[in-house]
Structure 1
Amino acid sequence: MPKRIVIWCLPILVLIILLPTRRVAGRDQRAPVHQADEIETLVNKAADLIESEGRTAFAAFRRKNSPWRYGDVYLFVVDLHGVVLFNAAHPNREGRDLLQEHDAAGKQFHKDFIAVVRESGSGWVDYMFPRPRRSTPEVKWSYVCGTSVDGTPALVGAGVYVE
């Protein structure tokens, strides 16, 4: 192999090896590097707030340009039956049972969210979903964490779009 190709490929290989691996819906996947720790911290803090304040926390989560919602980052909450309890960027999804919903690639990502929470308590799921104010689905990774909303087992999540 020519030396120039090896030198060019080496940093990419190192990056791939160093990416954190997460258990995702029964298989190992690479979590996104961009904002991963930030998203995990956000979701874990939101889970704690939901545990202590219940649905009243949703009002704070909905505010744009806040620590809970900024850029393309927003929180969503789904009960463990697939009913959307809260979605800051897509409030029209609230109250809907989306367990059977498929993404553009045919993946039932709500089932994956629930499986990750039931199996591990938290983790990353990849799927196709449009950014806020857009209609074309893009690759998105969401971190989900188990919580309880006023006594109802649920999950809270937020994600990052792969650029």
Structure 2
Amino acid sequence: MPKRVLFLCLPILALIVILPTRPVVGRDERVSVHQAVEIETLVNEAAETIESQGRAAFAAFRRKDSRWRYGDVYLFVVDMQGIVLFNAAHPNREGRDLLQEHDAAGKQFHKDFIGVVRESGSGWVDYMFPRPRRSTPEVKWSYVCGTSVDGTPALVGAGVYVE
């Protein structure tokens, strides 16, 4: 089995074992295993697409009702200094340095994204963020994965809002 396939499968298997019993933000809300696997697969495929196509991939990522963007699920790309390179649902964030941004609970989630990628290559981060077309922050879990955009170290992510 190629190393890359094994590397991609291990986190999914771990989620299948851990996620069904893991509460989100200390409450009885849960991210389903199906949702977690779906988001991880999407982000890992996006990372591979970015590495092969660079910024050219962003046009496809932006299309609504596509495999890359549907419902409340969308991709975002941030460089390792906290500059937003791409955000399908919030294009007004692109080009902005959001490393110091805090969520409604005071969490610097862009720092957490970068920290997870630096430490593990990929992983999950919880934070408060409004759904597209809404202003009230909600609990969101995002999976982020390291990638390279035209030679610039970055991360790509997508998330799920917890009902």
TM-score range relative to shorter protein: 0.7 to 0.9
| Structure 2 partner of 1:8 | none
1:136 and 2:136 matched: yes
Structure 2: how far apart are the matches of 1:44 and 1:21? Answer: 24
| Structure 1 partner of 2:26 | none
1:32 and 2:23 matched: no
1:52 and 1:18, CA in 2 relative to 1: closer, same or farther beyond 3 A?
closer
Q: How does 1:62-81 map to 2 (within 5 A)?
A: 62-81=62-81
| Structure 2 partner of 1:87 | 87
Structure 1: how far apart are the matches of 2:135 and 2:152? Answer: 31
SS at 1:35 equivalent:
helix
Structure 1 residue 32 displacement after superposition: 2.6
The residue identity in structure 2 corresponding to 1:103 is D
Structure 1: how far apart are the matches of 2:48 and 2:99? Answer: 24
The residue identity in structure 2 corresponding to 1:129 is F
| Structure 2 partner of 1:148 | 148
The residue identity in structure 2 corresponding to 1:32 is V
SS at 1:44 equivalent:
helix
Q: How does 1:1-20 map to 2 (within 5 A)?
A: 18-19=18-19
Q: TM-score, normalised by structure 2?
A: 0.82
1:121 and 2:121 matched: yes
Structure 1: how far apart are the matches of 2:127 and 2:70? Answer: 21
| Structure 1 partner of 2:41 | 41
Q: TM-score, normalised by structure 1?
A: 0.82
The residue identity in structure 2 corresponding to 1:121 is G
Structure 2: how far apart are the matches of 1:115 and 1:20? Answer: 25
1:20 and 1:48, CA in 2 relative to 1: closer, same or farther beyond 3 A?
farther
Structure 1: how far apart are the matches of 2:57 and 2:81? Answer: 21
| Structure 2 partner of 1:97 | 97
| Structure 2 partner of 1:162 | 162
List runs of 5+ in structure 2 lacking aligned partners: 1-16, 23-29
The residue identity in structure 1 corresponding to 2:130 is P
List runs of 5+ in structure 1 lacking aligned partners: 1-16, 23-30
RMSD, aligned CA: 1.9
How many aligned residue pairs are there? Answer: 140
Structure 1 residue 20 displacement after superposition: 6.0
SS at 2:69 equivalent:
coil
Structure 1 moving runs of 4+ over 6 Å: none
SS at 2:132 equivalent:
coil
Structure 1: how far apart are the matches of 2:21 and 2:87? Answer: 27
